[in-house]
A and B are shown apart, each in its own frame.
Chain A
Amino acid sequence: NAGVTQTPKFQVLKTGQSMTLQCAQDMNHNSMYWYRQDPGMGLRLIYYSASEGTTDKGEVPNGYNVSRLNKREFSLRLESAAPSQTSVYFCASSLAGQEQFFGPGTRLTVL
């Protein structure tokens, strides 16, 4: 099993550009999450999906949108990237109420 996978690994954008971060899991997990990690601030929840067909805002949702494409895939979209969105983005998944497993991360730089 690959676990949680993310693409791309690295991305550089110019201010105003858009992009979609992809996440997939092969563990048959119900719940999926998107976090961002900034230096000295730990991880902060952007959006989550408790189950296929549902999405909810987390702590820092502004500037992002998500799509739970199916049970396996959960994408994060930046419509108009800003330098403040420079960060490392982690996707995670879990069974209901259980341990969250993280993907390898996407390092995004917005110039």
Chain B
Amino acid sequence: GENVEQHPSTLSVQEGDSAVIKCTYSDSASNYFPWYKQELGKRPQLIIDIRSNVGEKKDQRIAVTLNKTAKHFSLHITETQPEDSAVYFCAASIAGSARQLTFGSGTQLTVLP
């Protein structure tokens, strides 16, 4: 089955700096890659996703890049703010009516004021 590895497990940045979180996946058939943000004690919420027919996608301060050949994808957050502090999870799945997401182990991002 699919295996997703996520790095780093913890990341501290100064407010206003950029943060980058990287994930690799094992199944070349995977074609959908969402990123979820989870605040302490809350549910995971989708912040951005990318499909394998696209190399990059941006939404304001958040961007995701995908390298299908190398089987890795990354989350980029620019101009970080304290409210960006949370755990971020990457995931991967193949096409299907019900997407069986395989999640990475998460990155605890702390934005220092």
Contact = CB atoms under 8 A, between A and B. Distances in A.
Q: Interface size bucket, B side?
A: 20 to 34
A50 B43 contact: no
Contacts, number: 64
A102 B49 contact: no
Q: Is the interface of B mostly helix, strand, loop or mixed?
A: loop
Contact of A94 (B45, B95, B99): B99
Given A43-B89, A49-B98, A58-B100, A99 B46 contact: yes
Contact of A59 (B32, B44, B102): B102
Contacts of A41: 105
A51 B97 contact: yes
A101 B99 CA distance: 12
B33 to A, nearest CB: 12
A22 B36 CA distance: 23
Interface in B64-103: 89, 95-103
Contacts of B6: 42
Contact of B46 (A43, A100, A104): A100
Given A50-B98, A94-B99, A96-B97, A102 B106 contact: no
B1 interface: yes
17 contacts: A30-B97, A40-B106, A43-B44, A48-B98, A49-B98, A50-B96, A51-B98, A59-B100, A59-B102, A90-B43, A94-B98, A96-B97, A97-B97, A97-B99, A99-B49, A101-B46, A103-B43
Interface of A: 30-31, 33, 40-45, 48-51, 56, 58-59, 90, 94, 96-97, 99-105
Interface of B: 1, 6, 9, 32, 34, 42-46, 49, 89, 95-106
